[in-house]
Structure 1
Amino acid sequence: MTKVLASGKTIEDAVRNGLTQLQVTEDRVKVVVVEQPAKGFLGLIGSKDAKVELELIPDPKEEAERFIRDVAHAMGLDVQLTWSQTKDSLQLSISCSGDLGMIIGRRGQTLDALQYLVTIVANRYSDNHIRIVLDAENFRERRRKTLEELSDRLAGRVIRTRKEVVLEPMVPHERKVIHSQLQSHPKVRTFSQGDEPNRRVVITLK
């Protein structure tokens, strides 16, 4: 964290001087008074300025970006990051001229792990819980469509064979895609079974 020591005739002046050094507003700092101002003899000789220490409070989004850039740099990638606001979360999208396969991982497993970690990092510096959805080259949307198509195909198989289908273990948000896709299906229903991280979706006849 960045700290500065600033002085001024009054505590308010000292704080203002510190804010100017940091180029931030007062809500972004913690202020500790180091020395109170003191008047000298006859109000002139030996007078002392106020001294304050300003500690910069990290911005959650900036910390999240720093974390992702550091991870990408360790992978040899120079990434661009873009924020967008959704209904109930902040989405941080990663793009790169190189191959983002290492960041995405098998079926998005690395991306999910990074999303979990970046959410922890951001919430260390936030008073209110921040939900961050991490994406890379529109992987989330592509994966959603893949799961929806898979759901429809497997529902057809259940109807033809009259045997239930148990899918591979999935993370909660992917299981939700399967359930949502088939929730209004006239002939099949879905439910989840097992414990995390091996919880699976089951598709069976109604």
Structure 2
Amino acid sequence: MRELTATGQNVNEAVESALAQLNTTRDRVEIEILDEGKKGLFGLFGSRKAAVKVTLQPNPIEEAKAFLQKVTTNMGLDVVIEAEVDGKVITFKLSGSKIALLIGKRGQTLNSLQLLTQLVANRHSKQYLTILLDAEDYRQRRNDTLVNLAEKMAQKVFKTKKEVALEPMPSYERKVIHTALMKYNRIETYSSGKDPYRHLVITLKKIM
């Protein structure tokens, strides 16, 4: 967080001076008026310049990216990080050597890092942001695996007439399976348990 004090013939001029020095815009700063200034007699005698304190607010995306860079560097990895912004959803795409270390078994390491990165971003944001991490297109491959799993488990439920409980998954992975099974009129899904053990259950709909 950077801040500085600037002066001008009036408040607006002082603010513009501060913005120029910080190389930023008004929406990125907080402004505190220290002195509104005084024109003085004939604009000369007793005049006093306006003074403001302008504080540059951290950019949540930059802070999240810096956090990711620090973590991956400490892991001994050389990772390239690209950010894609879609409204309030920020996707960080990670690429580089030994990327499997960032993914972990069934994406557990990537999911944990995603949660931490989201906490960092929202600590510096005035609106809630959703952070997604993807490493070498792992998310798409994982989604394909989940859809295939959903189909397989649905068929098992049809055959055995018994519900099937899946392994614990983060909410967005449970949503992938739920969405994939919406086409089956006789199948329903619900979540059970508490995080980090919350899991999805696939069952036949009860006939009323």
TM-score, normalised by the number of residues in structure 2 = 0.81
Aligned partner of 2:105 in structure 1 is: 106
Q: Supply the distance in 2 between the matched residues of 1:184 and 1:43 (Cα, whole angstroms).
A: 76
Q: Is 1:152 the counterpart of 2:151 in the alignment?
A: yes
Matched residues in 1 for 2:78 and 2:115: separation? 21
After TM superposition, give the deviation of residue 48 of structure 1 in Å: 4.0
Conserved 8 A contact 2:28-2:57: yes
- Alpha-carbon offset, residue 55 of structure 1: 0.5
Q: CA deviation at 1:143?
A: 0.6
Match of residue 121 from structure 1 = 120
Which residue of 2 is the match for residue 131 of structure 1?
130
1:75-119 per-position Cα deviation (integer Å, ceiling 9, x unaligned): 222332333345x75232322221222322221222222222222
Paired residue for 2:200?
201
Q: 1:153 to 1:49 in 2, by over 3 A?
A: same
1:12 is matched with: 12
Of 38-47 and 152-161, more deviation after overlay is shown by: 38-47
User: 1:205–1:38: structure 2 CA closer, same or farther, 3 Å change rule?
Assistant: closer
| 3-state DSSP of counterpart to 2:55 | strand
**Residue number in structure 2 paired with 1:183:** 182
Which residue of structure 1 aligns with residue 34 of structure 2? 34
Deviation of the 1:176 alpha carbon: 1.8
Compared with structure 1, are the counterparts of its residues 41 and 117 closer, same or farther at alpha carbon in structure 2 (3 Å cutoff)?
A: same
The reply to whether residue 56 of structure 1 matches residue 61 of structure 2 is no
TM-superposed CA distance for 1:120, in Å, is: 2.4
Q: CA–CA distance in 1 between the matches of 2:69 and 2:82?
A: 12
Instruction: Give 1:94's aligned residue.
Output: 93
Query: Which whole-Å CA distance do the structure 2 matches of 1:171 and 1:13 have between them?
Result: 50
**C-alpha distance 144-38 of structure 1, shift in aligned 2 (>3 A):** same
Q: In the alignment, what sits opposite 2:25?
A: 25
Cα deviation code 1:165-200 (max 9, x no counterpart): 322122222122222222323665433333332222
**Structure 1 pair 18–71 and aligned structure 2 pair: CA distance change class (3 A):** same
Rounded to whole Å, the distance in 2 between the matches of 1:190 and 1:47 is 73
Gaps of 5+ in 2: none
Structure 1 window deviating more from structure 2 (44-53 vs 102-111): it is 44-53
Deviation at residue 163 of structure 1 after TM alignment: 4.5
Q: Percent identity?
A: 42
- Report deviation, 1:22: 0.5
Letter in 2 for 1:143: R
Work out the CA distance in 2 between the residues paired with 1:147 and 1:183. 14
CA positional deviation for 1:24: 0.9
For these two proteins, the number of residue pairs brought into alignment is: 205
- What corresponds to 1:165 in structure 2? 164
Is the CA contact (8 Å cut-off) linking 1:81 and 1:92 kept in structure 2?
Answer: no
Aligned-pair RMSD on alpha carbons?
2.7
User: Partners of 2:192 and 2:182 in 1: how far apart?
Assistant: 16
